[in-house]
Amino acid sequence: MARGELFDPLFGAAGLGAVLSDRAWITALVEVECALARAQAVAGVVDRDHAAAIDAAGPAVAAALDPAALGEAAVAGGNPVIPLVGKLRAACADRGVPAAAVHRGATSQDILDNALLLLVQRAGKLIVADLGAAADAAAGLARTHRDTPMAARTLGQQALPTTFGALAAGWCAALDRSAGALISVLAELPVQFGGAAGTLAALYPHGLEVADALAAELGLAHQRVPWHTDRTPIAELCTALGVAAGAVAKIATDLVALSATEVGEVSEASPGGSSAMPHKRNPVAAITARAAARRVPGLVADALASMDHEFQRAAGAWHAEWETVTDLLRLTGGAAHRLAQSLTGLHVHPGAMARNLEITGGLLLAERLTAALSEHTDRAREIVTAAATADPPALTTDPAIVDVLGADRVRELLDPATYLGHATDLVDRVLTTRDTGVPTATDTPGDPRTTHDTTDRP
């Protein structure tokens, strides 16, 4: 994807840009190396003074490393950890730390996988916050417009009456559900530490202790076994991001359609203009949310297609994950951010909704009229269909209907406000669920090491 100052703000990823930048990657890689030294000091594998020296040298090394230079140096070994470790060892040597104490017992994948998880955790907090802001805005719309009638639409055409509150409540529920799933995945992400081939042989008999200490240092769940070629944690993360993006895309699509000139039922608080047409008021936030979300399914497919890691180190499938996951975070987070901007302060136009309910002359209540007429004749559907397809429609004038039910009854049956079903009850159910403490998108995950059972995780 195009990344940087030009497109990140447009697609909602300005905040995520810094969290997922090349500089952020380098910082995370060094942080993992430092955390590993601290964990090994806890386990008695590395001298505590040496670990402290590594920890002290790390930030300066991270700041001094040039992403372009490190990228060039990474070509020979196939990943940036190899040259980075060389730089860290050189810096630590000046502090009296032997080279063997840096990166001890680890392999490049251990460092890179955990650095990716640090970025995931940091970006994930921003994504969950934006999903929560969007859900809160949708809940506010549902509460305000609980009873505001509008046309429900199926297959692009008016179907039956509903309320805008019911539509917004559905948006809110989807955002809460997808955010809750993402929160759970983030909280359960386990540390990945296996050494050269997944046996931690270089750290025996302290390998498992070091792995658990590293999880504690990084704020990740404990691993049951190294998952260097079992990529289910990454797949679950990417799938959760895909679901969240899909929830955002559905809502953004609704907003774009409802903002159309011929519909005009909503408008954004800060619409965008046109370089050529002065009259345009485009729902730009919803449009760009939809644009970002549309790119996510392909990346989810890429992540799932890269699960076939052979034996104890994949040749290519692992490498394919790095940018894929980073882009998934940027796109999903950007889409959620722009949707929150669209929904916050959204202008709802009940007058336009009422006008659109009237344009069919009562056709969207044909179901209700048929049910009432069927109490008097077995030909109810045939009669109502003929009246509905007449030019002009004759639901209020056809003698076969009016003479049987009466004009006043027909007018009552064709009043959209009196045929809303459980629309308002559904709004109440969603809002009550949120008000009674059921986890929603606004909840934040706790410490994964204490609040989630990870015994069955990798």
Residue numbers annotated as active site:
274, 313
**Amino acid in the structure at residue 49:** D
CA dist 438 and 436 (Å) reads 6
Do 130 and 340 contact (CB within 8 A), yes or no? yes
**Amino acid in the structure at residue 411:** R
**Amino acid in the structure at residue 328:** L
CA dist 244 and 263 (Å) reads 27
Length of the chain: 458
Exposure b/e, 201-239, CB count within 10 A at least 16 = b: eebeebbbbbbbbbbbbbebbbbeebbbbebebbbbbbb
Q: Which residues pair with 154 in a beta bridge?
A: 157
CA dist 144 and 165 (Å) reads 7
User: What is the SS3 string spanning 34-93?
Assistant: HHHHHHHHHCCCCCHHHHHHHHHHHHHHHHHCCHHHHHHHHCCCCCCHHHHHHHHHHHHH
User: What is the three-class DSSP state of 43?
Assistant: coil
User: What is the three-class DSSP state of 455?
Assistant: coil
At which residue do the structure tokens 């994948």 appear? Answer: 109
- Taking the CB of residue 178, how many other CB atoms lie within 10 A of it? 24
At residue 437, φ and ψ (nearest 5 deg) are 90, 10
CA dist 342 and 288 (Å) reads 10
User: What is the three-class DSSP state of 243?
Assistant: helix
Q: With the C-alpha atoms ordered 33, 37, 40, 42, is the resulting torsion angle positive or negative? A: negative
Q: Could you tell me how far CA 88 lies from the centroid of its own chain?
A: 35
Strands 347-348 and 157-163: unpaired
Do 165 and 431 contact (CB within 8 A), yes or no? no
**Amino acid in the structure at residue 206:** H
CA dist 442 and 68 (Å) reads 38
**Amino acid in the structure at residue 163:** T
What are the CA-CA distances from residue 326 to residues 116, 142, 177, 413 (Å)? 8, 34, 23, 54
CA dist 202 and 222 (Å) reads 20
User: What is the three-class DSSP state of 348?
Assistant: strand
